[in-house]
Structure 1
Amino acid sequence: MFERLFKLSEHNTSVRTELVAGLTTFLTMSYIIFVNPDILSTTGMDRDAIFVATCIAAALGSAVMALVANWPIGMAPGMGLNAFFAFTVVAALGFTWQQALGAVFISGLIFVFLTVTGVRSWLIEGIPHSLRSAIATGIGLFLGIIALKNAGIVVDNPATLVGLGDLKATGPLLAIFGFFVIAVLDALKVRGAILIGILAVTVLSWITGVSEFRGIVSMPPSIVPTFLQLDIVGALHGGLIHVILVFVLVEVFDATGTLIGVAKRANLIQEGKRSRLGRALLADSTAIVAGSLIGTSSTTAYVESASGVQAGGRTGLTALVIAILFLASLFISPLAGSVPTYATAPALLYVAGLMMRELTEVDWDDLTEAAPAAITALAMPFTYSIANGLAFGFISYVVLKVFTGKWSVIHPATQIVATLFVVRFAFFAE
Structure 2
Amino acid sequence: MDQFFRITERGSTVGREVRGGIVTFFTMAYIIVLNPLIIGTVQDGSGRFLGGSTESPDIPLVALATAVVAGVMTLLMGVMARYPLALATGLGLNAFVTYSIATRYTWTEAMTFVFLEGVIILLLVLTGFRVAVFRAVPGSLKTAISVGIGLFITIIGLVDAGFVRRTGTGPVPVELGIGGNLDGWPTLVFAIGLLLVIGLYARGVKGAILVSILLTTVLAVVVEALTDTGPSFVSPDETNPQGWNLNVPDVPSDVIADLGTFGDLWRLSIFDDVSGLGSTLGSYDAAAFIAIALLVFTLLLADFFDTMGTMTAIGAEGDLLDAEGMPPKTESILVVDSLAAMAGGAASVSSNTSYIESASGVGEGARTGLASVVTGVLFLVATIFTPLVSIIPNEAATPALVLVGFLMMQQVRHIDWGDLEVAIPAFLTIVLMPFTYSITAGIGAGFISYVFLKLVLGKGRQVPGLMALVAALFVVYFAIEPIRSLLGVG
- Select between 351-360 and 163-172 the one with higher mean Cα deviation: 351-360
Tell me the residue number matched to 1:63: 75
User: Which residue of structure 1 lines up, in the alignment, with residue 303 of structure 2?
Assistant: 247
Kindly provide the amino acid, as one letter, of the partner of residue 219 in structure 1. Answer: A
Q: Secondary structure at the match of 2:297?
A: helix
Task: Report the 3-state secondary structure (helix = DSSP H, G, I; strand = E; otherwise coil) of the residue aligned with 1:163.
Answer: strand
Q: Which amino acid aligns with 1:84?
A: G
Moved more, 232-241 or 352-361: 232-241
Residue 190 of structure 1: aligned partner: 206
Alignment match of 1:209 (pick from 223, 228, 246): 228
The one-letter code of the counterpart of 1:293 is A
Report what 2:189 is aligned to: 174
Match of 2:257 in 1: 219
Asked whether the equivalents of residues 144 and 352 of structure 1 are also in contact (C-alpha less than 8 Å), the reply is: yes
Q: How many correspondences in the alignment?
A: 407
CA contact (8 A) 1:31 1:194 kept: no
Note the alpha carbon deviations across 1:112-148, whole angstroms, 9 max, x for none: 2222222222111111222223333334434433433
Unpaired runs of at least 5, structure 2:
41-57, 230-247, 272-276, 282-287, 485-490
Superposition pairs of residues 377-388 of structure 1, within 5 angstroms: 377-388=430-441
Secondary structure at the aligned position of 1:428 is classed as helix
The answer to whether the 8 Å contact 2:147/2:313 transfers is no
State the Cα distance separating 1:369 from its structure 2 match: 0.9
Specify the code of the residue in structure 2 equivalent to 1:77.
Answer: A
TM-superposed CA distance for 1:220, in Å, is: 5.4
1:75 lines up with 2:90 in the alignment: no
* CA gap 1:90/1:104 in 2 versus in 1, 3 angstroms: closer
Asked if the contact 1:61–1:74 (Cα under 8 Å) also holds between the matched residues in 2, the reply is no
Post-superposition shift, 1:304? 5.5
Question: Secondary structure of 2:174's match?
Answer: strand
Other-structure match for 1:141: 151
Partner residue in 2 for 1:161: 173
Q: Give the fraction of aligned pairs with identical amino acids, expressed as a percent.
A: 26
User: Residues 343 and 259 from structure 1, CA distance in 2 versus in 1: closer, same or farther, beyond 3 angstroms?
Assistant: closer
Moved more, 156-165 or 348-357: 348-357
Give the deviation of 1:40 after TM superposition: 2.9
What is the alpha-carbon distance in structure 2 between the residues aligned to residue 149 and residue 257 of structure 1?
Answer: 21
Alignment of 1:343-358 (within 5 A): 343-358=396-411
Give the match for residue 85 of structure 1. 93
Bigger drift between 279-288 and 127-136 goes to 279-288
Deviation at 1:402, TM superposition (A): 0.9
- Aligned AA for 1:179? L
Q: Aligned equivalents of 1:32 and 1:10: distance in 2? A: 23
TM-score by length of 2: 0.68
Q: Distance in 2 between matches of 1:9 and 1:37?
A: 30
For 1:354 and 1:296, the matched residues in 2 are separated by 30
User: Which residue number corresponds to residue 3 of structure 1?
Assistant: none
Deviations 1:318-345 (A, max 9, x none): 7555543442233221123344443344
- 1:296-335 paired onto structure 2 within 5 Å: 297-300=351-354, 302-303=358-359, 306=362, 320=373, 322-335=375-388
Is the Cα contact below 8 Å between 1:48 and 1:337 reproduced in 2? no
Inter-CA distance 184–48: structure 2 relative to 1 (3 Å threshold): farther
Q: State the SS of the aligned residue for 1:283.
A: helix
Q: Which of 32, 49, 57 is matched with 1:37 structurally?
A: 32
Change (3 A) 1:217 1:29: same
- 1:228 aligned residue (269, 277, 283): 269
Given residue 133 of structure 2, which amino acid in structure 1 is its aligned partner? L
C-alpha distance in 1 between matches for 2:306 and 2:70? 18
Give the letter for the 1:190 counterpart: K
> How many angstroms apart in 2 are the aligned matches of 1:169 and 1:59?
34
